[in-house]
Amino acid sequence: MNASKLLAAVIGFVLLGWLISGQFLRSESESVIDAEKINSAMIRVRAVRSRAQATEIQIVASGKSQAKRSVKVRAEVSGKVIALPRDKGELISTGDLLCKISSEDRQEQLAEAKATVEYRRLNYEGILKLSKQGFQGKVEIASAKANLMKAQSEYKRRQLALADLGILAPFDGIVQARPVDIGDFLQRGDVCAEILDPDPMLVVASVTQNELSGLELGGAASAVFANGEVHSGMISYISHASDSSTRTYRIEVQIDNPEFKLRDGLSAQLSLPGPRLMAHKTSPALLSLDDGGVVGVKIVNKESIVAFLAVEIAKDTQDGVWLSGLPNSINLITLGQEMVFPGQQVVAVFDDSEAAGGLLGGAE
């Protein structure tokens, strides 16, 4: 009886072990099947391994031409305008007469001042002689000397007033404006003419603080004007303080303009030498926007998870765009990026062919 019970117990344990092992095998098999289902359900994307390359960035800035010098020539004395030898738009040279003011009685005033100087000089010399004889003291001598100096100063002022009747051009240039006419009365400080110096011509623009690092005084630059003309020049000025409202920095590019062909106020696009930086070259079609409107690209990380990385367009060329602000090495999604979202797990199929490398410039 005991043998029968022992045999039954052994058979029961065997059956129980068989059932348990079958359940484990079924669970393992089902897990494999489920994993295969999950893998087959994941979206496949095509990607390339892109590496950043050093590249020179060309800074493009919108600007306008501006004469290097523009001056409003003003009257130094008051009087009626009796001559205007130069009209608006005329070329002028240094020293050319722009306005002539009537002398009125200034010649007589000059003669009177001259006579006063002579009288004060004779008086001063007479007092000096008397002082040697003991008839004049130091006070009289000092007073006579002061009167002489005052008369000489007035005579000099009268001479300058006569000389200032002719208002002359301070430099070579063009008469930009002439707000007076013959017969007008000019007060001291009124504008006789506005002249500008168009050679060299400046092209002024503004750049950001990030673009300053590649700019140097004397650096080469070029300007493309609205009519298609291209002129070469050099950087002649870089501001040390930013504009309080735009936080940008003023730069000036100097362009030779000996024939005065370039005019003040023309729109132009400046091309400036920028810094060297590490960037990825790719097709602009791979750029996308996140929910906040930020420009970026989608990549696949080591865990096959999609991520969105914001970028800056460092350079835009005919064969692609150069993107900065990225790690030196990324797995860039090139096909299917519009079908996936950040945080999603995908199956990445890498295309490291020559065609992909040509597209990215830095892929290997």
Residue range 259-269, pLDDT digits in tens: 888 999 999 99
Classify 128 as helix, strand or coil. Answer: helix
Q: Where are the domains of the chain?
A: 44-54+278-360, 60-66+198-276, 72-193
Strands (E), 84-219: 91-92, 97-101, 166-168, 173-177, 185-186, 191-207
Amino acid, single-letter form, for residue 191 = V
Q: For 145-149, 202-206, 238-242, which range has the lowest pLDDT when averaged over its residues? A: 145-149
Which residue, among 201, 162, 194, 183, has the nearest Cα to 86 in the 3D structure? 194
| pTM for this model (two decimals) | 0.56
Q: Which position has the higher pLDDT, 186 or 36?
A: 186
Q: 3-state SS of 46-115?
A: EEEEEECEEEEEEEEEEEEEEEEEEEEEECCCCEEEEECCCCCCCEECCCCEEEEECCCCHHHHHHHHHH
Residue whose C-alpha is closest to residue 109's, from 67, 146, 140, 154: 154
* CATH number given to 44-54+278-360: 2.40.420.20
* Length of the chain as a residue count: 364
Task: State residue 58's pLDDT score.
Answer: 80
Token pair of 88, please?
């608006």
Residues 6+ apart with CB under 8 A from 160: 76
Least confident piece of the model among 25-34, 189-198, 355-364? 355-364
Provide CB contacts within 8 A for 82, sequence distance 6+: 100, 101, 102, 182
Residue 113: pLDDT over 60: yes
Decide if domain 72-193 falls under CATH 3.40.50.2000: no
CATH 3.40.50.2300 corresponds to the domain 60-66+198-276: no
Chain segment 221-278, per-residue pLDDT in tens: 999 998 889 999 999 999 999 888 888 999 999 999 988 889 999 999 998 887 778 8
Give yes or no for a contact between 218 and 173, defined as CB atoms under 8 angstroms apart. no
No. of H helices and E strands in the chain?
4, 20
